[in-house]
Amino acid sequence: MNAPTRRPLDARATLLMLTLCAIWGVQQVVMKGISADIPPLMQLAVRFAGAALVFGCIVLWREGWAGFRDGTLASGLGLGLLFSGEFIAVGQSVALTSASHTTVFLYSAPLFTAIGVQIFPEERLSTSQWVGLGVSFAGIAVAFLGYTTKPVIEMIEGDLIAVLAGALWGVSNVWLRRTRVGNAATFKTIFYQVAVATIVVGGYAALMDQTAITWTPAVILAMTYQTLGIAILSYLAWFWLLRHYLTSRLALFSLLTPVFGVLSGWAILGEHIDPKFALGTALVLGGILTVNARQLLQRT
């Protein structure tokens, strides 16, 4: 099967990406709000388990067990391991450094993605687009780097682990482009990720003794949102975008996710927004416009 031709972002893709960034940004506030009743690692395991059940049933209904003999199993399991490693690294990073530092370095992923996909001619960025990518990442740093009371050595370790998480995310995007799982049906690709993550992240949560759950109405509502809204609907939309639009452009748009995260923290939790946030947001948006300016002008 030939891989579909990816195209530059259009109005539909831009609107969908903005929606996804908002959904992914709010999830951090949701996870923080119920962390006293269910640890973050266990939240992830439960979320992935619910999604794995749904997508596993779809795979069996659409393709049966023969669907796993189409040559995508090995690369699908590899994608799932990368996905699992990313989320475990995020959990470890948050424990060692500030959440703002974790967010900044996790969203170095578009840099790793952009570098990795340069082997595809249609993905190659011009000099001005590389500048735009750098400006956007600088904007994330300006907006979210803050003060901390944690020891410096511990912070550095946490920051490096967050960079590792970003690298794993970037490698996952490239893996999807280069391996056979990238041509599999969207629901099967997601199943590989969430099924492997259920086992790996759930096992790690058990190892860290972070499996206790107190089922309150807030926990049930939050886990429904995380499972249905994030692990099922948003992942379907994301992988559909990855199959139809240029990966590097989509990765850059994901830099807006922490912007929405801080906005939701301000609106829901009453967290203070530093003036650096306004400057950082302007840089992020400026970088996005720089990378996509050529396509935007061509469509006017």
Q: What is the pLDDT of residue 182?
A: 80
Q: Which residues contact 17 (CB under 8 A, 6 or more apart)?
A: 9, 241, 250, 253, 254, 256
pLDDT digits (tens, 9 = 90+) for 222-241: 999 999 999 999 989 988 88
pLDDT in tens, the chain (300 residues): 445 567 777 888 889 988 998 888 787 778 878 888 998 889 999 999 999 999 999 999 999 988 888 889 999 999 999 999 998 998 778 767 766 667 777 777 777 777 776 666 666 777 777 888 788 778 777 766 655 555 677 777 888 888 899 889 888 988 887 888 888 888 899 999 999 999 999 999 999 998 999 999 999 999 999 999 999 999 899 888 888 888 767 877 777 777 777 777 777 766 666 677 678 777 877 777 676 665 544 443
pTM, whole model, 2 decimals? 0.77
* Residue found by looking up tokens 């031709």 in the block: 5
Tokens of residue 58, six digits:
């779809």
Number of H helices, E strands in the chain: 13, 0
Please return the burial class of 217, using the count of CB atoms within 10 Å of its CB with bins 0-12, 13-18 and 19+: exposed
Tokens of residue 137, six digits:
């990442």
Nearest to 255 by CA among 296, 298, 290, 297: 290
Q: What separation in angstroms does the CA of 96 have from each of 39, 44, 205, 218, 236?
A: 16, 19, 17, 27, 32
Tokens of residue 39, six digits:
């640890």
Q: What separation in angstroms does the CA of 61 have from each of 15, 57, 64, 65, 151?
A: 31, 6, 6, 9, 52
Q: What is the pLDDT of residue 46?
A: 94
DSSP string, 213-248: ----HHHHHHHHIIIIIIIIIIHHHHHHHHHHB-HH
Q: What is the pLDDT of residue 283?
A: 80
Cβ contact 83:231 at 8 Å: no
pLDDT digits (tens, 9 = 90+) for 260-276: 777 777 777 666 666 77
Listed by start position, the domains of the chain span 11-298
